[in-house]
Amino acid sequence: MTASLFTSVRVIDGSGDAPFAAEVLVKGNRIAEVARSPETIDAPDATVIDGGGATLMPGLTDAHAHLSFLNAASLGDLTKLTPEAHVLETAKVARLLLDHGYTSMFSGSSARPHTDIAIRDAINAGDIPGPRLLAATQQLTVTGGFGDLGRKGTFASVALDGADAFRHACREAARDGVDIFKIVPSAPGSGPDVLAEDTAMTDAEVAAVCEVARQRNRQVAAHARSAEAVKMCLRHGVDMIYHATLADDEAKDMLEAAKDRVFVAPAMGLPYARLRDAESYGIATDDFTRARATKEIETVSATMAELHQRGVRVLPGGDYGFKWNPHGKNARDLSMFVECFGFTPLQAIRAATAWGSQLISAGLGLGAELGQVKEGYLADLILVDGDPSLEIDILQDRDRLLAIMKDGAFHKAPPTEPLVSRQAAE
């Protein structure tokens, strides 16, 4: 059994507690021992990694990932790719995300019916590098709902109507091997309010999806912006609620009551990047889009700050995979949690590690064994040049990730000399 001993490291264990000096021993694919300074670990057969004061922490989790969206300006652009080319390009994204320290991904939907499944299975087989991945369906919407472009076979979406149609689609998806049913209960509304949202799916349709999920041990994720859509999801047992943009007091109370079961991911990367970065990527932003993005950031920030205070597990995951919000920027979510939602850096890290891993573990059928630097836990770890608890932005810089370990094996090997020696040489 291979063994690696990290010495001279500061540990952020993912629990939200302050960093501490320690040594950490990994045997096989698990953390075998954590010794807080001044205690040391006696492991003569282990390969020693001298961190030189760097930070060892759990690998990151993205709770709203779209690996197959390929940084397109629009999802329609992806239709130019053959399915085979699409899978190959998605494999490159999987590696890129692991290069940035993301060791787990919860899919927010697949662009094609089986792309997520193919990538997940190739990663699990060791054929390609990538994060632990829970594979999703295309987004399951309704006629006239969000993502329905009015033609059969809409790319990235499937338009369905009625409980039986949703039930059948989910049974087919379970047969094909997905982990997550992605549904779209809400759709943009009309009127003077730029954030106006309709509730497009019915109670019976959402109930049918959740019924199949319980029968087949799958998870359900929902694009739910309207207050009624959020409440509908909570009534029927949806696991992951995306956006929750217009959650009213009743919806917030229901979220708090279900905080030990449900997760929320605001997925605010798109509006955030639209305002800040779109023009630099050659994407025009009209007045309506700018006004909607501005109001969404304000509204969602206030809602997530309140939900966080109520103890709801709010997770990072920002719809990365569009031209103006590309893959590899994912760790910007952690900075956004601090800047916009009132999280401390350690709380943001907990959301992206321990909390995010609870979502992943449920889908993988694991117990409490992922997302923390803790004895017995799976060894998904990153070694960071600096202290993210003081500078959360450094997690956005892949060059500051000195080593990346997934399941006890190094995806990125650590420096051969201590960090302090490297810094002195520079």
Q: What is the pLDDT of residue 152?
A: 52
β-pairing, 263-265 with 240-243? Answer: parallel
Least confident residue range of 40-44, 74-78, 95-99: 74-78
Residue 175 has pLDDT above 90, yes or no: yes
Superfamily (CATH H level) for 3-59+371-425: Urease, subunit C, domain 1 (2.30.40.10)
If you average pLDDT over residues 245-252, what whole number do you get? 97
Give start-end residues of each CATH 3.20.20.140 domain in the chain: 62-330
Strand order across the beta sheet in which 60-65 lies? 60-65, 102-107, 132-134
- Greater confidence, 270 or 264? 264
Task: Give the CA dihedral 197, 200, 205, 210, nearest 10 degrees.
Answer: -20
CATH 3.20.20.140 corresponds to the domain 62-330 = yes
Give start-end residues of each CATH 2.30.40.10 domain in the chain: 3-59+371-425
Q: What is the pLDDT of residue 422?
A: 45
Task: Determine the longest span between alpha carbons in the chain, in angstroms.
Answer: 70
Residue 423 has pLDDT above 50, yes or no: no
pLDDT band for position 419 (cuts 50, 70, 90): low
**Spatial separation of the C-alpha atoms in residues 115 and 90, rounded to whole Å:** 8
Calculate the average pLDDT of the chain. Answer: 94
Residue 420 has pLDDT above 70, yes or no: no
Q: What is the pLDDT of residue 123?
A: 98
Determine if residue 150 is left, alpha or beta; phi over 0 gives left, psi from -120 to 50 gives alpha, anything else beta.
Answer: left
What are the pLDDT digits (tens) for 385-405? 999 999 999 999 999 999 999
What are the pLDDT digits (tens) for 297-335? 999 999 999 999 999 999 999 999 999 999 999 999 999
Is the whole model's pTM more than 0.85, yes or no?
Answer: yes
Residue 149 has pLDDT above 90, yes or no: no
